[in-house]
Amino acid sequence: MKRKILAYNFEFSETLDQLRDRFDVEIFKAINPKTDPHFLQALKQAEGIVGLALPVDKELLDSAPNLKIVSNNSTGFNNLSIDEMTKRGVMGTNTPGVLEDTTADAIFGILLAAARRIPELDQFVKSGNWKHYLTRKEYAIDVHHKTLGIIGMGKIGSLIAKRAHFGFDMNILYHNRTRNHEAEEKYHAVNCSLERVLEESDFVCLMTPLTPETENLIGEREFQLMKKSAIFVNGSRGRTVDEKALIEAIKNKEIHGAALDVYQIEPLKVEHPLLQFPNVVTTPHIGSSTFETELKMAKLAVENLVAGLNGERPRNLINPEVLN
């Protein structure tokens, strides 16, 4: 009898076929894992779970007595209650080292889109409003030679700095828990206080992981410190920003605009206030969403899962203490 695996919001048939050869795989998409009866029944026999954004908390673990590994198909793993998993001997894995360049492309892309008003002016053309030469009402702002402030100079933050420095001759300020000497040397990035980043940057790009310390890191005070001409970019997690404060900052013209790929609650509802502003670029959490990158992540997630179920140490084990 094959061991049971649950695939949750896991897209790639190429990788699912590999699993089906060895395991009894059940697929779940767009369900509520707290209430779906089929999922809850399958959870009782599941030895492994692979997928995206499944909340693995005490309640779920109580319902999964045979669970050995949860393979997250993402770099982040704030959906996993790692301490609780470790207590129960359940391994957790993620897929780092795959999406960094792809995400940096996307975040710098929405920065450009906001600065040059690309989505807004695309609609300007498509709606038939381009009938004469452009006036000041349609003008955008330059990106080159401006100052980019990066909050969270990890791998993706560094790659955004690389694009800004070499592609657009931008000055780089950054704030991070630890000095990033490579970014300072290669991209002439300047390590400074959060306040200086906010006060001096033309573009403020938030790239921190979500932790108790970074939740609502950017709020009313921080928006008031920014230039009125600044564009705020969030490529981290939605809960790192106080969305009510962001909405007020845009409404009151405390900042010039925003470019957002993440939100406190996803997906956004069509009536969400952020969707009412033409100077806010909104993308649906597209950071790693290219076919090539998502397939690489899926393959790595399956590799981690199979290793754990075979009694081996997965390459990307988050909680190695579980092996003890």
Residue from 233, 237, 245 nearest 197 by CA: 233
Beta-strand ranges (E) seen in the chain are 4-8, 24-28, 46-51, 69-72, 91-93, 147-151, 171-175, 190-191, 203-206, 231-234, 257-260, 280-282
Catalytic residue among 163, 243, 285, 294: 285
Nearest Cα neighbor of 124 from 134, 114, 110 is 134
Is 38 annotated in the active site?
A: no
Here the tokens at position 318 are 């988050």
Dihedral sign, Cα of residue 54, residue 48, residue 321, residue 317? negative
d(CA 120, CA 279): 8
- Give me the torsion for CA of 253, 257, 260, 264, rounded to 10°: 0
Is 256 one of the annotated active-site residues of the chain? no
Q: Which of 237, 243, 256, 303 is catalytic?
A: 237
Question: Are 99 and 287 spatial neighbours (Cβ–Cβ below 8 Å)?
Answer: yes
Which residues make Cβ contacts (< 8 Å) with residue 179, sequence separation at least 6? Answer: 191
Closest CA to 16 of 292, 301, 311, 312: 301
| Contact by Cβ (8 Å): 228, 199 | no
Catalytic residue among 195, 266, 292, 312: 266
Q: Catalytic: 14?
A: no
92-125 CB burial, b ≥16 within 10 A, e <16: bbbbbebbbbbbbbbbbbbbbbbbebebbbeebe
Residue 236 makes CB contacts below 8 A (sequence gap 6+) with 152, 206, 207, 208, 209, 210, 214, 262
Gyration radius from the chain CA atoms:
22
Catalytic residues: 237, 266, 285
